[in-house]
Amino acid sequence: MNTKIIVTLFGMMLALALSACAPTGISTGSSPTDANSIQITDVWARTVNLGTMEEETPTTMDKTPDAMGSHAGSAMAQQNGAVYMNIANTGAADKLLKAETDAANTVELHTVVQENGMMQMRPVDGIDVPANGSVQLKPGGFHVMLLGVNRELKAGDKINVKLTFDKAGVREIQAKIRAQ
Ligand SMILES: [Cu+2]
C-alpha cells in the first residue's frame, strides 16, 4: 500500500518535472486533447411508432391488429429503437462505454451475432474505437439500443444522445430520426 503511494507520487513528480522541461508536455493517453480525436458523424435513429395507428401506415396487408392478439398486445408493450453513427478516431485507441438519451427508459450498447442461423442482439460492455481508425454503428451490427422508447420518433425529429468514451470523455450529439 505504502510503496504503491510512493511509486504513484514519484511518477507524478517525474511527470511534473518532465513537463516543466518540455513545454508541450507528455502525451499521457488521457490528456484533454483526446476529445478532439473522436469525430462522430452520420448520427441517426430509427423511427419509432408508439402503437397509435396512423393513417400513413403504408402496408396494411401484413398487419391486422384485430386478427391477432399478439399484435394487439404489442401495441401496449414497450417499443424499442436504435441509434447508429460513424465514430472516427485520429488518436489512440478509445472505447465507447455508455450511451444515454431521455427518449428511452433504458439505453444499452448492443452488437448483433449470428447463432444457429439466427441474428441475435447481444449487450456489450463497450464498443472499441481503434487508433487512427473508425467503427460504424449500423443496422446488423453495433448499435445504441433504445429500450422502452417514451415518445414518438418521427422522421425529421431529433433526439439528444450523450456518449461516454473511456478517453475522450463525454460527447453530446444529436441523432436525426430516419425511416432507414
Ligand atoms: Cu439491440
Q: What is the pLDDT of residue 109?
A: 98
- DSSP, res 7: H
Give mean pLDDT, residues 98-119: 96
**With contact defined as beta carbons under 8 Å apart, do 87 and 40 qualify?**
yes
Q: What is the pLDDT of residue 50?
A: 84
Q: What is the pLDDT of residue 77?
A: 74
- Hey, what CATH class is 37-178 in? mainly beta
C-alpha cell at 37: 480525436
C-alpha cell at 172: 453530446
Q: What is the pLDDT of residue 80?
A: 96
Q: How does pLDDT run across 38-87, given as a tens digit for each residue?
A: 999 999 999 999 875 444 444 444 444 443 333 444 445 789 999 999 99
Q: What is the pLDDT of residue 93?
A: 97
CA 107–ligand 1 middle distance (angstroms): 9
CA 55–ligand 1 middle distance (angstroms): 28
Within 22-95, where are the H helices? Answer: 69-76
CA 126–ligand 1 middle distance (angstroms): 13
pLDDT above 80: residue 135 = yes
Within 23-76, where are the H helices? Answer: 69-76
Phi and psi (nearest 5°) for 94?
A: -135, 180
CA 101–ligand 1 middle distance (angstroms): 15
CA 82–ligand 1 middle distance (angstroms): 7
pLDDT band at 34 (very low <50, low <70, confident <90, very high): low
CA 98–ligand 1 middle distance (angstroms): 14
Q: What is the pLDDT of residue 51?
A: 72
Cβ–Cβ contacts within 10 Å for residue 32, how many? Answer: 8
